Amino acid sequence: MLGTFQHTQLRIEIEASANAIHDSLLRTEQLGKWLIGQRFAPGIPDELTPGVDFTTWTGAIAIYHRVDVAKSNCLRLLLSGGIDGFHEWYWGDGWVQSRVEGISLLPLNLGQTFSLLSLRQFLVNSTKS
C-alpha cells in the first residue's frame, strides 16, 4: 500500500440522542445523506451488521469496508484499498467519537473532521424537522 501511516481521534458534542446517532451511522439511507463526498457502490444493505462488505468511492479512489462490529453504541469498519486500516465510531447521548488508523495517501484527519461536522449538521437539521 502506498501512503503513510496516519492515526487520528476526534470527539465532538452533538445535540442528538444515542439512538439518533446510531441510526445515522448504521442505517445506510441516513448514512448516505450526510457522508458527503463519497459514493456508495450499488447493493449496500439497509443496515450495517457484522460481516457486511461494501465499497465507497472518494473521487476515483475506492475504499472497501467490512463491518467488524456493529452494536448499539459502536461501529468498527475494517478498511482496504484507498485506506488500509480501520475506522471506529463510539457514541452516547450528546457526543460522538471517531478513530481512524491506517496507511493512505488521503489526508485522514481532514476527512474525519469533515465527516464529523457533516454528521453533526445532519443531526441538528433532522431534529429541527
- Domain boundaries, position 47: 4-128
> Is residue 37 very low, low, confident or very high in pLDDT (cuts 50, 70, 90)?
confident
For the segment 60-72, what is each residue's pLDDT rounded down to a tens digit?
Answer: 899 999 999 999 9
> Is residue 41 very low, low, confident or very high in pLDDT (cuts 50, 70, 90)?
confident
Read off the pLDDT of each residue in 101-129 and give the average, rounded to a whole number: 91
For the segment 87-112, what is each residue's pLDDT rounded down to a tens digit?
Answer: 999 999 999 999 999 999 989 999 89
> Is residue 2 very low, low, confident or very high in pLDDT (cuts 50, 70, 90)?
confident
DSSP string, 15-42: SS-HHHHHHHHHBHHHHHHH-TT-EEPT
Q: How many structural domains does the chain have?
A: 1
pTM (predicted TM-score): 0.93
The amino acid at 20: A
CATH number at residue 24: 3.30.530.20
Question: 13 is written with which cell numbers?
Answer: 458534542
